[in-house]
Amino acid sequence: MPSAKDQLLFLSKLQRLFAEGDFTATYKYALLIAMADLAIEVSDDRLTHQALAAKFIELYWQQSAPYGTGRGEPAVLEQNPSGPTKVISDIVLFRNAQPSATVQSAPSLTGYRELITKVAETVRKQPVEFLQNLGRATDPFLYERERRAIVLKPGVAYCLRRFQPLVQQLARSHWVAHIKGNKRNVPILGNQDDLESFLFETPRQALTIIGNGLRGLTNNKCFYCAGTVREAEVDHFVPFSLYPRDLAHNFVLAHKTCNGSKSDALAARSHLERWVRFIDDHDADIKEIGQKAGRIADASTSLSVAHWGYKNAADVGARAWLKRGTYEAVDRGYLECLA
Ligand SMILES: [Zn+2]
């Protein structure tokens, strides 16, 4: 574990990177998000360009579709002030050849390997090369570069996991500001302000598909209180504020009131035990629901994310939500359910 002093140094360098780094395209934000996600999902300091490319495709997938809810003409948003964004045009080509592809089904389709290769090449030549440039100097505080991978410096994976929500929030808010600040997007955006949800969240329609699928699996029962649910309301089991990425296994059916009362908290141990059983018992069904909703569905990723979330919570002595107004302390014992 890096010392408290090293962790602070990491944060201040990260903050400098956002303040002074030269972000002419949005790739660097995507790279930071990809690194932070992979630090939780894989326990290896070596992150291949291919693994990063798969993350890029996931992140840019939604953004490669036209933004069409503004008053302006529907069009794909520009990510770069001066020209097209190669990752987006590569994804668009792939999607045109595979019109029914979703981000979930893409990896099994013809042409995906080629897409990964192209995106990996862009990732290598662009953000991996330039991310650590500050002003006129290079400060490789995050990783060293290899031919086919980056290798995180000692302590960096720890810091990325520890400060995951912060890294995500910084990268996302800068990404949104970058797109809003691009003059070429003015006619597309009109005066809408749902840009952040468009860029990063699951579309409402997909949430409804997930909600309806979960209703079928649970006989319309709220995951938390077991009462009957009438609407297809879903809750992020590991809160979205902690891990802002939609994975099919992380959704549970819940009353709006239960969801609202749980808010940004983790769920208490009894809920966690039930959730682990639930995704284990229904893995195949959840995958199918994810497929229909076009969301990533992978039980082991969701379990790693939960392990990370609860371990952090236990380390800082956070409290978990049991029911309205009732919380309990998270301790290391929680992790036994995830072992
Ligand atoms: Zn309920």
3-state secondary structure 10-36: HHHHHHHHHHHCCCCCCHHHHHHHHHH
What is the pTM for the complete model shown? 0.86
Given 129, 161, 191, which residue is the final one in a domain?
191
Q: Are residues 78 and 209 in the same domain?
A: no
In a domain, 68, yes or no: yes
In a domain, 199, yes or no: no
Q: To 5 degrees, how large is the angle CA 165–CA 121–CA 295?
A: 45
In a domain, 196, yes or no: no
Q: Are residues 39 and 181 in the same domain?
A: yes
Cα(first)–Cα(last) distance of the chain, in Å? 21
Number of domains observed in the structure of the chain: 2
Q: Are residues 167 and 313 in the same domain?
A: no
Q: Are residues 147 and 226 in the same domain?
A: no
Are 233 and 255 spatial neighbours (Cβ–Cβ below 8 Å)? Answer: yes
Residue 72: its pLDDT value, please? 62
How far is the centre of ligand 1, averaged over its atoms, from the C-alpha of 83 (Å)?
A: 49
In a domain, 117, yes or no: yes
In a domain, 197, yes or no: no
In a domain, 127, yes or no: yes
What's the rounded Cα separation, in Å, for the pair 288 and 294?
10
Angle between helices 27-41 and 299-316 (to 10 degrees): 80
Q: Are residues 138 and 237 in the same domain?
A: no
How far is the centre of ligand 1, averaged over its atoms, from the C-alpha of 205 (Å)?
A: 22
Q: To 5 degrees, how large is the angle CA 201–CA 206–CA 208?
A: 115
Sheet order of strands, 149-152 included = 46-48, 149-152, 143-145
How far is the centre of ligand 1, averaged over its atoms, from the C-alpha of 163 (Å)?
A: 31
Given 191, 223, 248, which residue is the final one in a domain?
191
How far is the centre of ligand 1, averaged over its atoms, from the C-alpha of 224 (Å)?
A: 5
Residue 84: its pLDDT value, please? 81
- Count other Cβ atoms within 10 Å, centred on residue 52: 24
Low-confidence stretches of the chain (pLDDT < 70) are: 69-73, 192-193
Q: Are residues 219 and 240 in the same domain?
A: yes
How far is the centre of ligand 1, averaged over its atoms, from the C-alpha of 40 (Å)?
A: 30
How far is the centre of ligand 1, averaged over its atoms, from the C-alpha of 317 (Å)?
A: 26
Residue 24: its pLDDT value, please? 76
In a domain, 142, yes or no: yes
How far is the centre of ligand 1, averaged over its atoms, from the C-alpha of 218 (Å)?
A: 13
Q: Are residues 81 and 181 in the same domain?
A: yes
How far is the centre of ligand 1, averaged over its atoms, from the C-alpha of 262 (Å)?
A: 10
How far is the centre of ligand 1, averaged over its atoms, from the C-alpha of 37 (Å)?
A: 30
Residue 73: its pLDDT value, please? 67
Length, in residues, of the chain? 339
Given 191, 213, 245, which residue is the final one in a domain?
191
- Count other Cβ atoms within 10 Å, centred on residue 194: 11
How far is the centre of ligand 1, averaged over its atoms, from the C-alpha of 173 (Å)?
A: 32
With CA atoms as reference, report the closest residue to 55 among 82, 27, 79. Answer: 27
Residue 204: its pLDDT value, please? 84
Q: Are residues 76 and 180 in the same domain?
A: yes
Q: Are residues 159 and 220 in the same domain?
A: no
In a domain, 32, yes or no: yes
What's the rounded Cα separation, in Å, for the pair 220 and 230?
7
How far is the centre of ligand 1, averaged over its atoms, from the C-alpha of 290 (Å)?
A: 23
Q: Are residues 27 and 109 in the same domain?
A: yes
Residue 181: its pLDDT value, please? 87
How far is the centre of ligand 1, averaged over its atoms, from the C-alpha of 225 (Å)?
A: 4
Residue 282 structural domain: 204-338
Q: Are residues 177 and 72 in the same domain?
A: yes
How far is the centre of ligand 1, averaged over its atoms, from the C-alpha of 45 (Å)?
A: 41
Q: Are residues 157 and 252 in the same domain?
A: no
